[in-house]
Structure 1
Amino acid sequence: MDPDDYAEAVLDTVERIPPGKVMAYGDVAEMVGTGGPRQVGRVMAHFGGGVPWWRVLRADGSPPSGHEVRALEEYRVEGTPLRPDGRRVDMRRARWDGA
């Protein structure tokens, strides 16, 4: 199954997120201009392996379910700001606005 136009738009947006920055699923949907967090999550689950998937997470800064260990490794490598608990991204400091 190949990605449709919506999936391509989501993946293009994710590829633009700079190292050390993140977006919530809803942020990606807002930037794409359609859909919502669940639709973005579905695209990422099916087609996200070829893009920096760890840069898309829940609005509370939690990494993608089932991929926490790998995502946290990527955050440390990229210098993504983490919360004091070290298990979540500091969304205030790390959220990318698309600019």
Structure 2
Amino acid sequence: MMEAAAPSGSPFVAVDGRDLKACADGECEVLVRTGDQIPNDGGAGPLSVAIQAGRVGLAPASGGMGEAVSGPPGMVHRINRQEIVVVAVQGSEGIIRLSKK
């Protein structure tokens, strides 16, 4: 599902910085890079990150959501009770926001 998503601040200033463990409860905004593993108990399960061509890709890690999602800044995807937003992408880094709905 694609919807507009407003950044929470200046590009590449994530609320939780690079603290991926902040996502463990399913609520965070973090700076991600390819290869990152995001702990997540918000509905989508643990996530594996890949960034390519201005898009953030998230795939299940260790029995996660079941299907991969990918999108440019502004992409909003809902899985179970979780919302995943691609806030921004620049080069090999991106900002994603996870929240429970």
TM-score over 0.5 for the pair: no
Q: Which has the higher helix share?
A: 1
Q: Which has the higher strand share?
A: 2
Bigger Rg, structure 1 or 2: 1
TM-score calculated relative to the size of structure 1 = 0.28
